[in-house]
Amino acid sequence: MSALVEYLISGVAIGCGFALVGSGFVAIFRVTEVINFAQGTFAVVAGFVAYSGLTSAGAPQGVAEALGVLAAGALGLAFGGAAIGRKHTSPLASLVITLGLAVTAYAGEIAIWGDQPISFSGLQGDFVLAGAHLLRQYLLVIGVALLVLLGLGVFFTRTYLGKGMTACASNRFAAEVVGISVRRMGLLSFALGGLLGGFAGVLLIPIQPLSFNSDIDLAISGFAAAIFGGLRSFEMALVGGLVLGVAESLVGGYVQASYETVVALGGMLLLMLWQARRRVELA
Amino acid sequence: MLSATDLVVRLGSVTAVDGVTLSVERGEMVALVGPNGAGKTTLVKALAGLVRPASGTIAVEGRLAYVPEGRHLFYDLSVEDNLSLGAWRGRDRNPKRIYEVLPGLAGLARRRAGTLSGGQQQMVAVGRALMADPEILMVDELSLGLAPIVVSDLADHLASLHQRHGLALLLIEQNARLAFDLCSRAYVLENGHIVASGSSAELERSEQVRRAYLGVGSTPSKVRSREGDSSESARRDGSA
Amino acid sequence: MILLLAAASFLLPLWLSSANLTVYILLGLYAVTAIGLSLLMGLAGQVSLGQAVFFAIGAYTAAVLSLHGLSTVVALVLAPLLAAAVAAVVGVPILRLRGHHLAFATLAFQLIVLSVITNTPFLGGGLGFTAVPGLGIGKATLSSSLGYAWLTWGLTVVVMVVTLNLIRSRPGRALRALATSEAAAESVGVPVVRYKLAVFALSAAYAGVAGGIYVFFIGYASPGSFPVELSVELVVMVVIFGLGSVWGALFGAAGISVLMQVLNQVGTLHGMPQYMPTLLSYAAYGLILVVIVMFLPAGVLPGLRRLWARRPGGREDPMSRQIAPPIASLRSLLRSTRPKTTRADGTPSPEQTRRQ
Ligand SMILES: Nc1ncnc2c1ncn2[C@@H]1O[C@H](COP(=O)(O)OP(=O)(O)OP(=O)(O)O)[C@@H](O)[C@H]1O
Ligand SMILES: [Mg+2]
């Protein structure tokens, strides 16, 4: 029983991280139709920057994480500039560009932080729930992720800027007609994607050490979460992240840790195929 | 207030607009008619700054808004949001003032734009354009897919806006009768060229225009009687 | 041109040092794989970010079979066949996906296969196989690198001839239509789904045979030998000189292999940190991808070749005309990811006809 609770809670926490990465995919895709392959990079860079902030710069906990998230946002903006800054770049060409950026980022990350996994301790201590000893950090991850996603929802549905971005997603020509610059909104969405990835990074790194090439796993998991809502729905990305996180955690706990990825990837493949099938039927 | 000189617009290998010169003066209502594929939509897109012309000049004085062909609403947003987004470049984002001009929209404010009927959608498209507080409004295909009664209703609204606020209008219409009735002046575009222009009355008398656009012999009076009254009065208002 | 290449590839190994000979052999193997990927991406318009998986399948097939006593030659013949068979089976569902979905699906497939290998003791697990025998018939084994060099480049020349002929053939021309617009290809009666599957399987076969030779030459295979980075490397090789071009893939493989060799030498210079070679190679791959796709989406080679074709009496490579579409048509591919109106058998659905 206590094992189950532990797997569930840790799964939910990890799943919230996936949901954050996935929301980054959604934020960017809705506005630009680009899949940002470098979505995992944002998380890794944010985690690393926070680590440097804590260790080298001596920044207090909280401030260091905030710096990491902001750095990821700035990186998102820069990547967006490369991916969609030039006119007539097709969405798939943009995907290949972001793939290139992610690989280029490896070089920078290795140069600055080396090629070994990095971690730092987040919220200290643990708590007991139904007999299970759980890290307090899990609660922090879940709480912050939900708050961030809630804020994201408010931003898109309640603020004028957010509605402008939704408008680009809804009908890009019409957006141009009313004078919204779709390209500028696209850059903004990349910055937003960077922030979301950054949150995932600084929240997850105390639980799961990150190394420069952790971005692939994060990106794949986030993409799988985002696919739940057809890359367009933040709510479904949250659901997808939670399902994925819990499933991985249960498989890792009860079957074998090394099958986690197979389950996640296989699930994502099946989901995509099912969606493609449904599209055929609906069409 | 809006003028284009020797405008050429190419879309790929097609020269859709080929040396067009036209102008719309302050407070004037001008129609642009022509067959399918003449280049009307391309021309207004260029005037709205959405397509880059290959050569020629465009001069716009004052705020310009545009109702695109096929409406192009934000279908998954509410009517209210659609309207307020129309003021993206303006200052006043509150759609209340539109409800005064187009009262039909007030009751639809919370509906999703995608769930509206064609006429309601066109009303939202016009309202969204008006949110920019334009001094000149370009409307591409006002009547597309709409029942005549709805069209004449919309035409009435435009006429009264013109009358009360001095709104200038560039109206693109397949229905030349409606266009001539509503507007005091018109251009005829064919194959990217302006082939005729002048006051609506002159054009209505021209043999060529009558045959091609008003269906001469096929009882124009019948067409007139369908939309007749309202658009007639609109024109009189317009020239007053 | 091909003859020239054949002669050069036969003679060159005689002058190469043994270290360079290794590079030369790997280059040939990458070239064969890249040609397949180029065909898939440029001609069939399908983006694969997991092409190294078929290289791995070929390598593991050859390794497992020969370690269980099967003749290495037979194992080498079975390597591409199994890779193609896997591609044909996996391709049926996966190729329904378009654009970025397919990109992620192929990547996911590679990761799944690597994970399964890591977890299967029969396949060597995470440590993989060492002591894979050399290629040979009975007692006569191919022991020198020179032999592998000739074998590899013989294969490369064969693959090039086959591929060039395929491109010029009727199905090849139909495929080109497919890369530009799937709907258009369908409307003129091209069996789109069958052709896509065939190209997918063929590209897998190329990767499979290259993987087979690789494992006999190197002598070991582990999941770590075929990382996602290898797939990315292949994509870089393919885009650098233009998608869909056989010569482009060859030169891309050559250029990248040589560049990596140079960077490796720079990175291991005295006083460099230990991670320097990796760092340099990542920087190179990444920047090449970004710069090429941003500024030269048609690749470096097509421009040059167009000039070559314009010389007096020059004959344009049938490929060069359609180099540009792929990246451009990626857009149309992506569009079609949303409302997919094609049935599995490639006929337009009645709804599609109705809509038009
Ligand atoms: N995106 C495009 N690419 C290439 N050619 C185009 C494109 N859009 C329109 N055209 C061509 O440009 C010409 C003018 O088109 P346009 O839409 O401006 O005509 P129109 O007068 O508005 O027609 P309609 O009355 O049917 O709306 C047509 O010949 C059309 O085929
Ligand atoms: Mg039109």
CATH number at residue A146: 1.10.3470
- Model pLDDT for residues B123-136, shown as the tens digit of each residue: 899 999 999 999 99
Q: Do C286 and A92 touch (CB under 8 A)?
A: no
Backbone angles phi and psi of C45, in degrees to 5: 70, 25
Give the C-alpha separation, C39 to C255, whole Å.
19
Give the C-alpha separation, A68 to C6, whole Å.
54
Closest-approaching ligand to the CA atom of B40: 1
Q: Is the CB of B50 under 6 A from ligand 1?
A: no
Of C20, C74, C22, C81, nearest in space to C219 by CA = C22
Amino acid A13: pLDDT: 94
Residue A265 lies in a domain: yes
- Model pLDDT for residues A177-221, shown as the tens digit of each residue: 999 999 999 999 999 999 999 999 999 999 999 999 899 889 999
Give the C-alpha separation, A53 to A47, whole Å.
10
Q: Do A178 and B86 touch (CB under 8 A)?
A: yes
**Confidence band for C138, pLDDT divided at 50, 70 and 90:** low
Amino acid A274: pLDDT: 87
Residue C150 has pLDDT above 80, yes or no: yes
| Residue of higher predicted confidence among B2 and C180 | B2
Backbone angles phi and psi of B183, in degrees to 5: -105, 150
**Confidence band for B228, pLDDT divided at 50, 70 and 90:** very low
Residue A125 lies in a domain: no
Longest dimension (CA), chain B: 51
Residue C54 has pLDDT above 80, yes or no: yes
* Chain C residues close to A33, C-beta within 8 Å: 334
Q: Is the CB of B41 under 6 A from ligand 1?
A: yes
Average pLDDT over residues C207-233: 90
Amino acid C140: pLDDT: 66
Give the C-alpha separation, C305 to B149, whole Å.
62
Share of chain A above pLDDT 90, in %: 62
DSSP state of C337: T
DSSP state of A210: B
- Model pLDDT for residues C82-97, shown as the tens digit of each residue: 999 999 999 988 888 8
DSSP state of B111: S
* ipTM field: 0.85
Average pLDDT over residues C162-173: 83
| Residue of higher predicted confidence among C340 and C169 | C169
Residue A128 lies in a domain: no
What are the helix (H) ranges across C219-343?
A: 228-240, 246-267, 276-295, 300-309, 325-335
Other Cβ atoms closer than 10 A to A259: 16
Give the C-alpha separation, A150 to A163, whole Å.
15
Residue B15 has pLDDT above 50, yes or no: yes
Q: Do A280 and C275 touch (CB under 8 A)?
A: no
Strand partners, B29: B169
Average pLDDT over residues C25-47: 87
Amino acid C335: pLDDT: 31
Give the C-alpha separation, C120 to A143, whole Å.
39
Average pLDDT over residues A114-119: 90
Cβ pair C79, C61 in contact under 8 A = yes
Residue C305 has pLDDT above 80, yes or no: no
Neighbors of chain A by Cβ distance (3+ pairs < 8 Å): B, C
- Model pLDDT for residues A133-182, shown as the tens digit of each residue: 778 889 999 999 999 999 999 999 899 999 999 999 889 899 999 999 99
Residue A93 lies in a domain: yes
Cβ-nearest to A262 among C112, C286, C334: C112
Those residues with Cβ within 8 angstroms of residue C291's Cβ, 6 or more apart along the chain or in another chain: none
Domain that holds residue A73: 2-113+133-282
Residue A108 lies in a domain: yes
Residue A119 lies in a domain: no
pTM (2 d.p.): 0.83
Cβ pair A72, A190 in contact under 8 A = no
Residue A122 lies in a domain: no
Backbone angles phi and psi of B55, in degrees to 5: -155, 175
Interchain touch C–B (≥3 Cβ pairs closer than 8 Å): no
| Residue of higher predicted confidence among B66 and B218 | B66
Which residue's CA is minimally distant from atom 25 of ligand 1? B36
Share of chain A above pLDDT 70, in %: 98
Residue C348 has pLDDT above 50, yes or no: no
Amino acid C356: pLDDT: 30
Average pLDDT over residues A37-54: 95
Q: Is the CB of B235 under 6 A from ligand 1?
A: no
Residue A249 lies in a domain: yes
Which residue's CA is minimally distant from atom 5 of ligand 1? B11
Q: Do B75 and A171 touch (CB under 8 A)?
A: yes
Cβ pair A102, A195 in contact under 8 A = no
Backbone angles phi and psi of A133, in degrees to 5: -85, 120
pLDDT, chain A, mean:
90
Residue C346 has pLDDT above 60, yes or no: no
Domain count, chain A: 1
Q: Is the CB of B16 under 6 A from ligand 1?
A: yes
* Torsion sign across C-alpha atoms A9, A11, A17, A20: negative
- Model pLDDT for residues C311-324, shown as the tens digit of each residue: 554 444 433 333 33
Interchain touch B–A (≥3 Cβ pairs closer than 8 Å): yes
**Confidence band for C139, pLDDT divided at 50, 70 and 90:** low
Average pLDDT over residues A254-260: 79
